[in-house]
Structure 1
Amino acid sequence: MTVSPVEVHTTKTIAAGRAALQEFSELMDRYIKKSEAVRPDKSWSFPKKHLVAHLFDDIMAKGATRNYNTMPNEKCHGPLKASYQYRTNFKDVAPQILRADHWSLVSEFICGRVDELDAYNTQMAEDETNPDTNVPSNFHVRFRSKQLKKSLETIEEQHVDNPSFRHFRRKLNTFLNALPAVTQHVNMLPSDNITEFRFLKVNYESLVDFCQTTDYLRCSPSFHNFPRYNCVIINTTTGVFFAQLLFLFTCNVNSTPYPIALVRPYDAPVGRRLQKDKHLKFWRVRQQPRETASEFILAESIIRGVALAPDPTTVGDFLVMDTIDSDIFLRMKQMHLAAGH
């Protein structure tokens, strides 16, 4: 079941899991009944099919499945084998292995906290020595991979063949003047400089364990010799929408740097929901049909990154990959419920 690998369960995820399990069981019964005409001799009495019947009862009794499956110690349970060989006298081994495992976990926890502190101190030192790479608004987003400053005129000339950059300076002026924080009229000149970045770190609170999680997103014409422009979920006053990063930069307005992203929105109407999307719980998005459809956003409005898979049957349509991690699975489930799916 897709819900079962979630690292931290709540009453809501348990209830959703039981509902999904009930639906799955009904579909399996229908499938088995139809398959009897093709394979009347096939037996469906095997442990793996019966296992899910008690799945969420086991989760309630024992905790998340990661506590009692084989994933923590793959390859013949190497750590347990080492504890048995080197830290026991081969008699009454269970308490001795448990004690060694406890020591190992405590040591790993302490080392992890020390490593986190070192990484934090290193990051803070870099921010102090390179203030232009730090987003001044909050800790939610940070730009990295700083490029040389370029004038707006140069940016437009370098992207003259890209329709998304058409009227770049004019659209930027319109965007800046619409910001509530900008109280004076802004008129960026062709000679004014901006600083491009090609790497974005987005910190957000995971819906799974409510801890901070970081997405590392690329917006680069050459990442390991290939263009890489990741997609994101963007929060607005009217709701969320999906978009592809096209250009990351900061520009100064009245001595205040603003972290801005040029994105291509995937918010075109998709029409009536397809039957297969209903059955498979797909969330379909569509590119704006106009090649010039691009807009500026404040980088802090980015919620997190997202993976979109092109639909081979419909050009311009994409499906949200909601099984990449547990957080995006829960976020998309909330969006489905809000949309009445």
Structure 2
Amino acid sequence: MSAYLKCPQIEQCKVIYVEYQSKVDWRSSRDILHCNPRFHNAPRFDCIIYETDDDLIAMGELFFVFRCHLPGNVVIDFAMVRTFRKTTWQPNTRTDCPIREKMPATAASFVTLEHVVHGTLLCPIFGGKAEMHYIIDCVDEDMYLRVNNID
């Protein structure tokens, strides 16, 4: 008799739903985030805020989202993200928007979807060094409070 392990099955996902508690009115809310190379014939890779030990608002761009079916009916959802790190670089024009630098694709990391806190909007800074992005914190009140760490 030979024993073997059943290999896990991996399923690619193109959309995720993130449930979060609003910092404005404490109500439950939901973000719909896309990770799709052909969303209406154009690529769409949304950005997320996720929990880490070393950064209060770690950010990343969804690169690949998948569901892993393990033996024993265990299901784990993961995202491969291109991370954004804090930077001290400032553009020539004055701005109050926080700035993040996108790390190269070789520095991608894996995040379990249970650690995803919120979707976020990042806008590229044209003419800047490397891949700098503004964090758009004025999308709504909740995002403003999160990004500026206001309780």
TM-score by length of 2: 0.85
Aligned letter for 2:13? F
Q: Could you tell me which residue of structure 2 aligns to residue 323 of structure 1? A: 138
Q: Percent identity?
A: 26
Letter in 1 for 2:136: M
Task: Give the corresponding residue for 1:297.
Answer: 111
- Among 61, 70, 90, which residue is 1:244 paired with? 61
RMSD over aligned CA atoms reads 2.4
Report the CA distance shift for 1:292/1:212 in structure 2 as closer, same or farther (over 3 A). Answer: same
Question: Offset at 1:313?
Answer: 2.1
For the residue of structure 2 that corresponds to 1:323, the secondary structure is: coil
Note if 1:203 corresponds to 2:19. yes
Q: What is the SS of the residue equivalent to 2:80? A: strand
- Determine which structure has the larger strand proportion and give its number: 2
The equivalent residue for 1:151 is none
Pick from 205, 228, 233 the counterpart of residue 49 of structure 2. 233
More helix by proportion, 1 or 2?
Answer: 1
- Confirm or deny that 1:284 pairs with 2:122: no
Q: What is the match of residue 97 of structure 1?
A: none
Partner of 2:30: 214
Q: Structure 2: state its 5+ residue gaps.
A: none
Secondary structure in 2 aligned to 1:324?
coil
Tell me which amino acid in the other structure corresponds to 1:310. Answer: P
1:309 and 2:123 correspond: yes
What whole-Å deviation, never above 9, does each CA across 1:273-311 have from its counterpart, x for those lacking one?
Answer: 53768x5212110011x3312111100111110010000
CA distance in 2, matches of 1:316, 1:253: 37
How many residues of Structure 1 are paired with residues of Structure 2 in the alignment?
A: 144
Give per-residue Cα distances to partners, 1:65-106, cap 9 Å, x unaligned.
xxxxxxxxxxxxxxxxxxxxxxxxxxxxxxxxxxxxxxxxxx
Shift of 1:244: 0.3
User: Aligned letter for 1:213?
Assistant: S
Task: Write the distance in 2 (CA, Å) between the matches of 1:275 and 1:261.
Answer: 31
> Relative contact order (C-alpha < 8 Å, sep 6+): which is higher?
2
Contact 2:9 2:70 in 1 (8 A): no
The structure with more radius of gyration: 1
Structure 1 regions of 5+ residues with no counterpart?
Answer: 1-187
CA 198–275 in structure 1, closer or farther in 2 if over 3 Å, else same: closer
Give 1:332 shift. Answer: 1.6
The whole-number CA distance in structure 2 between the counterparts of 1:273 and 1:281 is: 13
Q: Which one of the candidate residues 75, 84, 99 is aligned to 1:257?
A: 75
CA-CA distance at 1:251 after TM superposition: 1.0
CA distance in 2 between counterparts of 1:331 and 1:291 reads 26
Give the match for residue 194 of structure 1: 10
Q: State how far apart, in whole Å, the 2-side matches of 1:228 and 1:275 are.
A: 26
